Structure 1
Amino acid sequence: MHFNLAAILSLAPLALAGIPRPRMVNTVVETNNMPMMRPSPNETIGHAIVFNNCEMPIYLWSVGQDISPQYQLIPGDSYSEVYRRDSQSGGVAIKITTVKNGLYLSAPQTVFAYNLVENLVWYDLSDVFGDPFQGEIVTVEPSEPEIWWNEGVPPSGSQVRLLEASNDLVLSVCY
């Protein structure tokens, strides 16, 4: 698996502050129903990574034309998938709730969406049906301008960003 060392090292201050660093879970969504765009031999494709730093489990689904199974991340766990281009919608939305089966219950969701276009990945972060991480810090790294929700609630305005697809994107909830 490829992880952006700079993104991982950016979590080093957490360990220095006595906050345990999240464990990596080697979960990569890659099924026949979810085709992946393969990189040319001279390029690599990064990952969309979600860290659960909360004191409770969170639940997520990778959604394109198909919906992945529900993944439960216990505190300290992470989820990772290689960027892929969905053949029907173009983009992928990683939908996260704090409620088991929340995707099907219209529970508040944080949506970490991306769209792989050649060697670039367009991405954004938003909430629907409420703010599941209200009162917590939610951040995506790297992002420029910075995506940092100090109270777990998205600010007004666009959160859409662009990054070279060889880089990993790390969403941390309850940072």
Structure 2
Amino acid sequence: MRFVIPSLLAFATSVTAIGNTLVFNNSTSPIYVWSVSSTVGPQQTVVSGGLYMEPLHRDENSGGIAIKITKKAGGLYSGDPQQIFAYSIDNAQVWYDLSTVFGEPFAGQRVEVTSDTGGSIIWPKGSNPGGSQVKVASSDENVWFTVYGAPGV
């Protein structure tokens, strides 16, 4: 699946002048994604090898956006473990971080957030390795959340 990432990046970069936030599912099972701000967007199903994308934007009421990800359909409303990829755009910069709530949905799986020039957040085993997780990049870049399959899968 590594050859897919450059193609997806080229496509995402060509979509708009402002950056995008992208969720790439490089695991073997579907994942479920919601964009949450002062409102909750509809559930998006991202199949293995699939991609969810939205332009970076700011919510005027809450300020930031939380991309909430679960391993179960409807997991946002059933108390399932949630991976939270949050970002806030501030003019020329986008600030982003990674956290969990109700458990660690990707325990044992590598998860990471990357951009072209901003810092990377890497959780090699699907849990916070400690330290500050807040990073910053130019708001005209794409910021990627990627979940990988369990080792040996």
Superposition TM-score tier, normalisation by shorter sequence: 0.7 to 0.9
Q: Deviations over 1:4-24 (max 9, x none)?
A: xxxxxxx8xx34xxxxx3685
Which residue, out of 135, 142, 145, partners 1:161?
135
Q: Deviations over 1:61-86 (max 9, x none)?
A: 00001100000011110000001100
Which residue, out of 84, 99, 113, partners 2:86?
113
Amino acid paired to 1:64:
S
Partner in structure 2 of residue 79 of structure 1: 52
Partner in structure 2 of residue 4 of structure 1: none
Secondary structure of 1:65's aligned partner: coil
Computed over aligned residues only, the root mean square deviation of the Cα atoms, in angstroms, reads 2.1
TM-score by length of 1: 0.75
Query: More strand by proportion, 1 or 2?
Result: 2
Q: Does 1:171 align with 2:145?
A: yes
Deviation at 1:92, TM superposition (A): 0.2
- Preserved contact between residue 33 and residue 67 of structure 2 (Cα < 8 Å): yes
Runs of 4+ in 1 over 2 A off after TM superposition: 21-24, 142-146
Indicate the larger mover: 78-87 or 143-152.
143-152
Structure of higher CA gyration radius: 1
Deviation at 1:144, TM superposition (A): 5.0
Which residue, out of 69, 72, 77, partners 1:104?
77
Q: Does 1:139 align with 2:112?
A: yes
Partner in structure 2 of residue 149 of structure 1: 123
How many Å separate the matches in 2 of 1:129 and 1:137?
18
Deviation at 1:156, TM superposition (A): 1.8
Which residue, out of 97, 117, 124, partners 1:124?
97
Which sections of structure 2, spanning at least 5 residues, go unmatched?
A: 9-15
Q: Percent identity?
A: 41
Deviation at 1:136, TM superposition (A): 0.7
Indicate the larger mover: 141-150 or 72-81.
141-150
Which sections of structure 1, spanning at least 5 residues, go unmatched?
A: 1-10, 16-20, 25-42
Deviation at 1:145, TM superposition (A): 4.2
How many Å separate the matches in 2 of 1:106 and 1:145?
30
Amino acid paired to 2:64:
G
How many Å separate the matches in 1 of 2:129 and 2:60?
31
How many Å separate the matches in 1 of 2:72 and 2:132?
26
**Count of residue pairs the alignment pairs up:** 141
Deviation at 1:44, TM superposition (A): 2.7
